[in-house]
A and B are shown apart, each in its own frame.
Chain A
Amino acid sequence: MSLIGRAALLLAFAAALYAVGAALWSRRPGQHRFLISAERAVFCMTGVTTVAAVTMWTGLVTDRFDLANVAGYSSRSLGWGYKLTAMWGSQAGSLLLWAWLLSLVSSLVVITNRRRNRELMPIVVAVLMGVGVFFTSVLSFITSPFETLSPIPLDGRGLNPLLQNVYMQSHPPLLYIGYVGLTVPFAFAVAALVTRRLDASWITSVRRWTVLSWLFLGMGIVLGSRWAYEELGWGGYWAWDPVENAALMPWLVATAFLHSVMVQERRGMLKIWNMVLVTLTFTLALFGTFLTRSGILSSVHAFGESTLGPYFLGLIILVLVGAFALLITRLPLLRSQNSLESYVSREAIFLYNNLLLVGLAFAVFWGTIFPVLSEAVRGDKITVGQGFFDQVAAPIGLALLFFTGVGPLVPWRKASRRELQRRFGAPLVVAVIALIPALMIASEGAHWWAAAALVLAAFTLTCIAGEFWRGMRARHQIGEVSWPGAFGQLLVRHRRRYGGYIAHIGLVLVIVGIACQGAFSSQADMALRKGQQGQVAGYTIVNEGGTRSQDDHKMSVGVALGLYDGTSRITTLTPGVDVFVPQMQRSSEVAIDTTPFRDVYVVLVGLTPDGLARLSVFVNPMMLWIWVGGLIVAFGALIAVWPARRSRAPSTIESGANGAARG
């Protein structure tokens, strides 16, 4: 079994290497047929990488403990669902997942570009497969997922209980799809630079790839936060840990890219900037892996001692130097077709939004690598506390929230004063009205950031609602369609625009959730005997008795708690602690009662034999909206990229891009 896997990976390496060579060779005059050959090599690489992945999965499901990765991360008693996902519990397994996803993505790119972008494809294939060569060589020669053990253990060590969770099953692959997907825009950007075809066509070709990768990356981040919230039992969801930052940085820069490409499509500006952004996005995706693999930063995440750091650093430097050298030689071709006419125009606001997003990404980067820099420069390791990130992210986040509302309402090129007054009248009135309760809330505990976030959220939501209203009214009046019909038509006919607005609504809700949880959450520790009660934030918690159970797998304790709002009973919460026997590994099972307005979150810290339950109770306001907002962002993004029907005229940008995804 190990042999099959290793052979498949070696073949994948060879196929990828051949694809790079053939693709580059096909650019020579008269050698065009080699492009077809390179593309077939891509399919071949996908085939053998799939064999390797399936082999790994087969090994996991059939308990082949002769494989180190099976013995280390799975066990007989593990459910088959977790056996499958144990693949990305190990370092080599997660790299295999990466290589496999990359091969799938590369094949999709080849299939969808059979008749389009033919002059770009040699370089696109070379870049994609170049990255493929890197991963398959690492998997073949440095850290093989098919290492064998001898003697063969009778049972595996099992998957860490913390990872036995549906969010942990789904969040790493989503992040990886995002990372891998971001390779595609980078490959097209390099191809455009090399072939000097620097109009906006490469951007429209990869727009869907960019949005979908961004979407998967974002979902990966949200589900990872949800996992931290449910599983780790400290009442929070985000700690500015280096690994969290590593996923956030490419997401921020990709968000900037999504917006700035519109300026290039529409006005022929920001061409160099877009090249820089797409390169940065891809490098940050690699940097994330480097951070987690190199061991240069102490993270609370567990990572194996790894020798991969230098390889990833080498690849990052190669990508950065190569891309920027290429960019510099092509600078004369990237001149803007237009210049900024006004500081109050759509393109100007996209520029502000870009500066803010990239600035935030830079601040996060700076805070993340600060310990490394300070150790190199001064000799002692100075780390940056969470306070730094909060302080920087709050004002930048608020400014972004403001521009989220303003941007779509400001016309391209130049805004007339009257137009602005008409569009911003209602949002300003709403913001002023919202100011009064917000100030009242804020003055109690000096939560000025949260108050500002709430006011801006009201402003931005009104701005977006105004856009929907104007669009629907126009359709209702001209087309004589019903109001719901007009709404549907907006979504169907202008997917990109209104899908984007829906994503904005989701983002506003996420920010509301973050601000409220950050400012207004309350926490209390209590020690309750059976029948005793404790208070937190107006809620009463009554200990209704503990339970204990034990089997040969784990010892469990739990406690039944009555949750009361005043005198009315809301629900029973049953937090618990499992202790898994072989390693005495503790795993807290938190209990959460969720309503749209707040979460009551209870951790059982301990239960003494005489029935004293020690609890940590958190009341997190508006917590639900972080997750719901995330879903709405995803929904909006899906609408924005959903392919239109094929019958539409192929000349418009809209259907041109549809073709990009469908081929």
Chain B
Amino acid sequence: MRSRSRFTIALILAAALGGWLIWTSIGGSLQTYTSPSGLVKSDGTTYRLNGKVNAGAPKDAAERAQSAAGLRFVVRDKDKPTSTVEVVYRGSVPDAFADDREIVVTGHMENGVFMADRGSLITLCPSKFMQKAAEDGKTMPAGITGPKGTTGT
């Protein structure tokens, strides 16, 4: 090491390179996390849609999601139940998928329908698990060991 300044310059360069890497990588992968009422743009904006599965979702969801037509179900806003959107999805369906289950799915709007990315469906367990469990008898663990949902490949 001949001088301290050279070392400092090297460090700054390394930091700049790392910053550039993070900056460019993050640019291409941003997704707006929103609920059905927040889906406004159909210009190809990628959304991560969060909401609850409306009653009447197909019982054979996993099979349908493999068919050419895809799985169609309606997601409603958690806070404003009247705000809903229809989702078309293909790919693997988590075991926990069912009516009233909270889900997150990635995709974009097309002609008023939410076209989900393949394999992007994730189910969340009810966050207020104790009350929820008491209400509908469903069991969800609430530990650090909680189950991972399934995510796409």
CA A341 to CA B130, docked complex, whole Å: 61
CA A162 to CA B149, docked complex, whole Å: 10
In the bound complex, residues from chain B placing their C-beta under 8 Å from that of A158 are: 139
In the bound complex, residues from chain A placing their C-beta under 8 Å from that of B10 are: 343
Are B1 and A341 neighbours in the complex by a CB distance under 8 Å?
Answer: yes
A89 at interface (Cβ–Cβ under 8 A)? Answer: yes
B96 at interface (Cβ–Cβ under 8 A)? Answer: yes
Known A-B contacts A89-B143, A382-B31; A295 and B127 likewise in contact (beta carbons under 8 Å): yes
What is the minimal beta-carbon distance from A85 to any residue of chain B, in angstroms?
Answer: 9
Are B147 and A301 neighbours in the complex by a CB distance under 8 Å?
Answer: yes
The residue on B at minimum CB distance from A606 is B63
For A354-395 the 0/1 string (1 means CB < 8 A from B) is: 010001001100110011000000001111111110011001
Are A380 and B141 neighbours in the complex by a CB distance under 8 Å?
Answer: no
In the bound complex, residues from chain B placing their C-beta under 8 Å from that of A616 are: 66, 92
Are A228 and B148 neighbours in the complex by a CB distance under 8 Å?
Answer: yes
The residue on A at minimum CB distance from B139 is A157
Stretch from A37-45, A203-211, A438-446, A577-585 forming part of the interface with B: A577-585
For A576-595 the 0/1 string (1 means CB < 8 A from B) is: 00000011111110000000
A172 at interface (Cβ–Cβ under 8 A)? Answer: yes
In the bound complex, residues from chain A placing their C-beta under 8 Å from that of B46 are: 385
What is the minimal beta-carbon distance from A69 to any residue of chain B, in angstroms?
Answer: 10
In the bound complex, residues from chain B placing their C-beta under 8 Å from that of A586 are: 95-96
Stretch from B18-26, B80-88, B108-116 forming part of the interface with A: B18-26
Are B145 and A172 neighbours in the complex by a CB distance under 8 Å?
Answer: yes
Are B26 and A94 neighbours in the complex by a CB distance under 8 Å?
Answer: no
Q: 8 Å CB contacts to A: which residues of B33-60?
A: 33-34, 38, 46, 48, 50, 60
In the bound complex, residues from chain B placing their C-beta under 8 Å from that of A318 are: none
Are B21 and A235 neighbours in the complex by a CB distance under 8 Å?
Answer: no
A471 at interface (Cβ–Cβ under 8 A)? Answer: no
Q: 8 Å CB contacts to A: which residues of B121-153?
A: 122-125, 127-130, 133, 137-153
Q: 8 Å CB contacts to B: which residues of A73-113?
A: 73, 88-91, 93-94
Known A-B contacts A234-B152, A236-B151, A363-B22; A383 and B48 likewise in contact (beta carbons under 8 Å): yes
Known A-B contacts A300-B124, A387-B28; A382 and B33 likewise in contact (beta carbons under 8 Å): yes
A72 at interface (Cβ–Cβ under 8 A)? Answer: yes
A302 at interface (Cβ–Cβ under 8 A)? Answer: yes
What is the minimal beta-carbon distance from A185 to any residue of chain B, in angstroms?
Answer: 22
Are B151 and A388 neighbours in the complex by a CB distance under 8 Å?
Answer: no
Q: For A172, A295, A303, which residue has the most chain B Cβ atoms within 10 angstroms?
A: A303
In the bound complex, residues from chain B placing their C-beta under 8 Å from that of A234 are: 92, 119, 150-153
Q: 8 Å CB contacts to B: which residues of A615-638?
A: 616, 618
CA A340 to CA B50, docked complex, whole Å: 52
In the bound complex, residues from chain B placing their C-beta under 8 Å from that of A585 are: 95-96, 138-139
Q: Pick the contact of B66 from A244, A380, A605 — CB < 8 Å?
A: A605
In the bound complex, residues from chain A placing their C-beta under 8 Å from that of B65 are: 605
What is the minimal beta-carbon distance from B27 to any residue of chain A, in angstroms?
Answer: 9
Show 21 residue pairs from A and B whose CB-CB distance is below 8 angstroms, ordered by the A residue: A73-B141, A89-B141, A89-B145, A157-B133, A160-B139, A234-B150, A241-B148, A244-B148, A295-B127, A303-B127, A304-B129, A305-B130, A341-B1, A342-B1, A343-B10, A370-B26, A371-B33, A381-B33, A382-B32, A391-B29, A614-B66
The 6 closest A-B pairs by CB, nearest first: A304-B142, A302-B125, A300-B149, A302-B146, A385-B29, A586-B95
A157-B137, A301-B149 known; 9 new pairs, CB 8 Å cut-off, are: A159-B141, A232-B148, A300-B123, A302-B129, A305-B128, A381-B33, A391-B25, A605-B66, A614-B62
Chain A residues in contact with chain B, CB under 8 A? 72-73, 88-91, 93-94, 157-160, 162-163, 168, 171-172, 175, 228, 231-236, 239, 241, 243-244, 289, 292-293, 295, 298, 300-306, 339-343, 355, 359, 362-363, 366-367, 370-371, 380-388, 391-392, 395-396, 521, 523, 525, 527, 582-588, 603, 605-606, 608, 614, 616, 618
